[in-house]
Amino acid sequence: MAEKKSKTDVTARDKSGRATDHSCNNCGQQIMNDRDMVVVMDGRRRNKTYHHRACLQKAIA
């Protein structure tokens, strides 16, 4: 039987449902929560950088 996921589960996952292990480009810490992760792409959508939401706000300000 398949494992039931919580409706409030915010673990960062890719399209196939596997948990991702991205680290923040600013602080270097691992991003565990999907709601804290911001993905920034270039114009061609080729180069992706991953950031904590708070780190990106500090970098922009």
Residue 1 has pLDDT above 80, yes or no: no
Dihedral angle, C-alpha 26, 32, 35, 36, nearest 10 °: -20
Task: Band the pLDDT of 33: cuts 50, 70, 90.
Answer: confident
Model pLDDT, residue 6: 66
Indicate the residue type of 47: N
Model pLDDT, residue 51: 92
Indicate the residue type of 46: R
- Average predicted confidence (pLDDT) for the chain: 82
Whole-number percent of the chain with pLDDT over 70:
82
Task: Band the pLDDT of 5: cuts 50, 70, 90.
Answer: low
Residue 24 has pLDDT above 60, yes or no: yes
> Distance (Å, rounded) from C-alpha 10 to C-alpha 13?
8
